[in-house]
Amino acid sequence: MALMKIVEFPDPRLRTVAQPVTVFDAELAKLVADMFETMYEAPGIGLAATQVDVHRQLLVVDVSEDKNQPLVLVNPRIVERSGTQVCQEGCLSVPGIFADVERAERIRVEAQDAKGAAQVIEADGLLAVCIQHEMDHLAGKLFVDYLSPLKRELVRKKLAKQRRNAA
Ligand code: K1U
Ligand code: ZN
């Protein structure tokens, strides 16, 4: 397994729309393993392939406390949504920034697993938030896009300052 580099906002590669996965082979299995290692090490509760500069419809999630409920969603589609919830979100591609985002409370997702088998996931609460956040990444969208242009500009400046101070 290997740690992957996470692309950070405002890198334009985060705006790439992911293409469907069509081949379920050993290379895909290694990518999934590397993405889980990268997500757990960050640490995070989700990671989309877009964030590691792979533009395929693939995401990994684990919202459990013990980090023992890994989920792999390949070519995910939300087929039902209901209710709304507001949750404070973070993003490994936008480090140190947190903001409230409104999402559906419950979703039903049709996807494939890492071997290509069909799966249906019924999610609510944090799992539903995290899947919607990761699916946004696959569409080239970031949680800061839900903020006002002024707040987004503040985020951009804060990140630039963080990077200057770290250099
Ligand atoms: O997509 C990402 O960058 C991962 C992101 C997922 C996410 C978090 C919160 C709401 C929606 C989506 C993260 O994992 S940020 C880190 C984080 O939230 C966390 C880290 C350690 C423990 C618990 C949470
Ligand atoms: Zn994110």
Q: Known catalytic residues? A: 134
User: Separation of 29 CA from ligand 1 center, angstroms?
Assistant: 23
| Residue given tokens 């705006």 in the structure block | 15
Whole-angstrom distance, CA of residue 33 vs CA of residue 38? 9
Q: Which residues contact 109 (CB under 8 A, 6 or more apart)?
A: 73, 76, 77, 78, 79, 120, 121, 123, 131
Average the pLDDT over 11-24 and give the result.
98
User: Separation of 166 CA from ligand 1 center, angstroms?
Assistant: 22
**Both structure tokens of 139:** 């569409």
At residue 167, the pLDDT reads: 86
Answer whether 43 contacts ligand 1 (Cβ < 6 A): yes
How much is the pTM?
0.97
**Contact criterion met (CB below 8 Å) for 49 and 55:** yes
Give the position, in ligand 1's atom list, of the atom nearest the Cα of 48: 1
Answer whether 103 contacts ligand 1 (Cβ < 6 A): no
When pLDDT is cut at 50, 70 and 90, the band that residue 45 belongs to is: very high
At residue 120, the pLDDT reads: 98
**Contact criterion met (CB below 8 Å) for 44 and 52:** no
**Both structure tokens of 80:** 């039902």
User: Separation of 141 CA from ligand 2 center, angstroms?
Assistant: 9
**Beta bridge partner(s), residue 85:** 103
- pLDDT tens-digit readout, 90-142: 999 999 999 999 999 999 999 999 999 999 999 999 999 999 999 999 999 99
Whole-angstrom distance, CA of residue 142 vs CA of residue 134? 9
When pLDDT is cut at 50, 70 and 90, the band that residue 1 belongs to is: confident
Domains, the chain, ordered by start:
12-166 (3.90.45.10)
- pLDDT tens-digit readout, 127-139: 999 999 999 999 9
